[in-house]
């Protein structure tokens, strides 16, 4: 199924200029075309319109700490929504990891760095569809932009034929996004599937 994602601003690669009124055409899990909206053939595609900045998906380098050390409370626990230092094992650790991965999607994350040593965390990461990459296990927060800025946080630029992994942010430019942080994520698409949308 073809889906056309139209955005106020498209930034397919943070090292390249942005495109005003841009679009990404997705076929299944792959990018079929991208560029100015007027030049991308929609051809019966379902159209999603986004009022914001569409960028490649982001890499969170703190996956090990966020998923294996920190605890993501269940809303029913009345412990807030921020990651905590709280001992958890087995099923409770697995639930925390699943909630942590969902929260990462809310920051435009499409790839996460390990290492992932706990079986319940490895399973949660594999089932999430996020790309698991090697890492050094450093501590840090949910916002991938906090340490490196957009250039350092992009997992990989959008390419024709490449995976349709991208995010849309409530920002008008890369500079505005870096100032505001990734918490203004409107939507995250992973392998062509809309896995997060801000309500």
pLDDT in single tens digits along all 199 residues of the chain: 899 999 999 999 999 999 999 999 999 999 999 999 999 998 889 999 999 999 999 999 999 999 988 888 877 777 667 776 667 677 777 888 899 999 999 999 999 999 999 999 999 999 999 999 999 888 889 999 998 899 999 999 999 999 999 999 999 999 999 999 999 999 999 999 999 999 8
The structural domain count of the chain equals 2
Asked if 51 and 66 sit in the same domain, the reply is no
Helix, strand, coil percentages in the chain from 3-state DSSP, rounded to 5: 30, 35, 40
The encoded tokens of residue 16 equal: 């390249």
Polymer length of the chain = 199
Asked if 111 and 43 sit in the same domain, the reply is no
Query: Which CATH number do you get for residue 9?
Result: 2.30.40.10
From residue 107, alpha-carbon distances to 68, 87, 92, 132 in Å are: 19, 25, 23, 16
Residues contacting 79, CB < 8 A, separation 6+: 73, 86
The encoded tokens of residue 145 equal: 């932009």
Asked if 169 and 137 sit in the same domain, the reply is no
Asked if 70 and 110 sit in the same domain, the reply is yes
Asked if 53 and 39 sit in the same domain, the reply is yes
14 phi, psi to nearest 5 deg: -65, -10
Asked if 139 and 86 sit in the same domain, the reply is yes
Nearest residue to 114 via CA among 128, 132, 97, 98: 132
Is 97 strand, coil or helix? helix
Asked if 65 and 90 sit in the same domain, the reply is yes
For 92, the enclosing helix (H) or strand (E) is helix 90-105
Expressed as residue numbers, the domain containing 74 is: 59-146
Residues contacting 15, CB < 8 A, separation 6+: 151, 157
């Amino acid at each position: 199924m073809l889906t056309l994602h139209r955005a106020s601003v498209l930034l397919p690669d943070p090292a390249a200029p942005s495109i005003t009124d841009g679009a990404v055409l997705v076929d299944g899990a792959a990018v079929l075309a991208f560029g100015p909206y007027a030049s991308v053939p929609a051809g019966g595609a379902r159209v999603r319109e986004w009022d914001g900045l569409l960028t490649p998906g982001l890499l969170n380098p703190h996956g090990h700490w966020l998923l294996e050390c920190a605890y993501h409370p269940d809303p029913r626990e009345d412990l807030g929504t921020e990651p905590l230092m709280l001992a958890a094992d087995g099923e409770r650790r697995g639930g925390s990891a699943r909630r942590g991965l969902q929260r990462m999607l809310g920051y435009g994350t499409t790839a996460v760095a390990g290492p992932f040593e706990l079986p319940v965390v490895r399973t949660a990461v594999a089932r999430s569809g996020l790309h698991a990459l090697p890492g050094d296990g450093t501590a840090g927060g949910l916002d991938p932009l906090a340490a490196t800025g957009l250039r350092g946080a992009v997992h990989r630029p959008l390419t024709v034929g490449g995976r349709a992994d991208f995010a849309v942010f409530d920002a008008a430019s890369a500079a505005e996004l870096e100032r505001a942080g990734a918490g203004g994520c409107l939507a995250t698409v992973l392998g062509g599937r809309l896995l997060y949308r801000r309500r």
